Chain A
Amino acid sequence: MQKIMIIEDDPVVREELVLLLENEGYMPLSVTDFDGVLKQAARECPDLVLLDIGLPGRDGFSLCAALRKAAPAPVIFVTSRDDGVDEVRALSLGGDDYITKPYSVPVLLARIKAVLRRSSCKPEPADLLEAGELRLSLTKGMASSGGKAVELSRNELQILACLMTHAGQIVSRADLIDALWDNQIYIDDNTLSVNMTRLRGKLEEIGLPDAIRTRRGMGYQL
């Protein structure tokens, strides 16, 4: 499990971050003693540090420089100051990323994931998704089943990928739209319906006509 050190002075934000990161399968380390933070970092060897710039007593910039010496973990700056100068300073001091408050939860998680991936040199996330007989290649944009394959459009690909990562669960239309917007596909409800119909048509071509079930009033289920 990857350790993420949270250096944040606002107690509510800190606790919520701990909960969030626990739910996402990380091991959060919350720091409450800001003077002993360097020792703690050296002892715990976190995989990533979330660092608030506006800390009491010591400012995050100087802390970052010291942290880099104490532990080799990548640092993501989290701050409510959004001056461009701060950002440049943060990145030049060895910060790996910079997020301004108030951040949206998916954006924060995506940034954490990206920095962790870069630092641990892990391969890109699985290209191939599987659910039952259905296989989906994200890089090729092809869905296949039982030897038959079909090419998907960008929108269809993202919809299917979202359903497959939540295979078995009900995914609401709003969640699907959210997932698409995450991938810079800015569609509305009607367009989703159109894409859904097309996707079902294509799945039918490869012999899976009823793969996506409609759960009335709730959403879709694979």
Chain B
Amino acid sequence: MTLREFLSDRLGRIALQLICAGLSALFLFATGTQLGVLVILLIGLLLVFLIVNMLDFFRQRTRLLELETIWQGLDRKYLFAECVSQPKGIYKRRLFDLTRRASRAMTSAVSDAQASQREYREYVEQWVHEIKAPITAARLICRELDGKTRRKLTAELAQIEAHVERALFYARADNPQQDCLLWQIDLEKIVSQAIENHRSLLIQSGVRIETEKLDCTVYTDEKWAVFILGQLLQNAARYRGTEPLITLSAKQLAHQTWLIVKDNGIGIPAHELPRVFDRGFTGSNGRIRGGSTGMGLYLCRKLAGFLELGLDIASEEGKGTAVTLMFPAKKKLTEL
């Protein structure tokens, strides 16, 4: 609060004080008080007004600064009213009470919402773990079937798994600190794990994969990185062209390691490219082919954010798409 703001706020009161002083001086003059006495009286009055107003100004300014500091220091801003001392004066105290009541109602609404979100997340995780038992059993049973049916069923099971996996990671993405485990991992391991996870889909799509120079280590959470890469592989297989080829190559820079996932698929129209990471965005390719959820890349970006993983996409319609995963150097991760 500046002095000017304070003055413009107080304008009415100051004017009233001045008018009162003027009127009483006029009255005293009319009733025969000496001019010298009047001047002294007026100067005295003005001095008192000045001091009172200045004191008010400094008091208000200190209070506001104090409140501002508390606000800055607060982790959860909605608890502000709980952390502030009560003001003086009945009117202010009443106002303050009202604010405090409002924010308490808010706090309980927030914690209810958090609790139900946590319960929901726990249920989804539980559900995901439970559904895995029958899927495992189905996989084992599949083994007894003849080649063609086994492959088809295995591919369908793999699809179910991919959907289940997405649900799990979607539930986890809201509170990632709980599951994130940053570690030194061979890039090759991440790549072969992701390929293994989606191998049915990839083989059935007739995809050929070439890997180049993947013998480096990165610092990241293995499961999340495998998941992200898995989404990219699924997309590459789903939006493939003729003679589909996916190239996975690594590039080591001073402070980053890049993993470039390049395909020769149908590509993404330029005007849709900025939106592919949006939640639920399916684009023209997704609409034409069907079965697109618009969740894969959205989750990738969300999870990548927590891993401090850069994610970049480039595409040309009819030629293919290249997604670059930029793994940060260890040094930067220690800040996490």
Contacts and interface: CB of A to CB of B under 8 A. Distances in A.
Chain A partners chain B: yes
A205 interface: no
Report the interface size class on chain B.
Answer: 35 or more
Given A54-B129, A83-B179, A84-B222, A16 B137 contact: yes
Contacts of B244: 188
Contacts of A191: 208
17 contacts: A10-B133, A10-B137, A19-B144, A54-B129, A80-B136, A82-B223, A101-B133, A101-B136, A104-B196, A107-B196, A172-B147, A178-B203, A188-B206, A188-B207, A188-B208, A188-B244, A190-B208
B208 A102 contact: no
A136 B250 CA distance: 33
A187 B140 contact: no
A26 interface: no
A104 B153 CA distance: 13
B211 interface: yes
Contacts of A188: 206-208, 243-244
Interface string B186-206: 000000100110010011001
Which secondary structure characterizes the binding site on chain A? Answer: helix
B208 A174 contact: no
Interface string A70-87: 000000000011111100
B12 interface: no
A114 interface: no
A13 interface: yes
Contacts of B136: 10, 13, 80, 101-103
A105 interface: yes
B316 interface: no
Interface string B120-142: 00000000111011111101110
Contacts, number: 91
Nearest to B135: A102
Interface string A100-117: 111111010000000000
B114 to A, nearest CB: 21
A12 interface: yes
Across the A-B interface, the 7 shortest Cβ-Cβ residue pairs: A186-B209, A16-B140, A84-B181, A80-B132, A12-B137, A188-B208, A102-B136
Interface in A115-162: none
Which secondary structure characterizes the binding site on chain B? Answer: helix
B206 A84 contact: no
Contacts of B243: 188, 190
Contact of B161 (A88, A102, A184): A102
A55 to B, nearest CB: 12
A84 B223 contact: yes
Interface in A18-58: 19-20, 54
A30 to B, nearest CB: 13
B199 A181 contact: yes
Nearest to A177: B203
Given A172-B147, A181-B203, A190-B243, 19 more contacts: A10-B133, A19-B144, A84-B179, A84-B181, A84-B222, A103-B139, A104-B139, A104-B154, A105-B139, A105-B143, A174-B147, A184-B195, A186-B202, A186-B207, A186-B209, A186-B211, A188-B206, A188-B243, A188-B244
B210 interface: yes
A19 B140 CA distance: 9
A13 B221 contact: no
Highest count of chain B CB atoms <10 Å: which of A84, A104, A184: A104
Contacts of A175: 147
A189 interface: yes
A20 to B, nearest CB: 6
B157 interface: yes
Interface string A196-208: 0000000000000
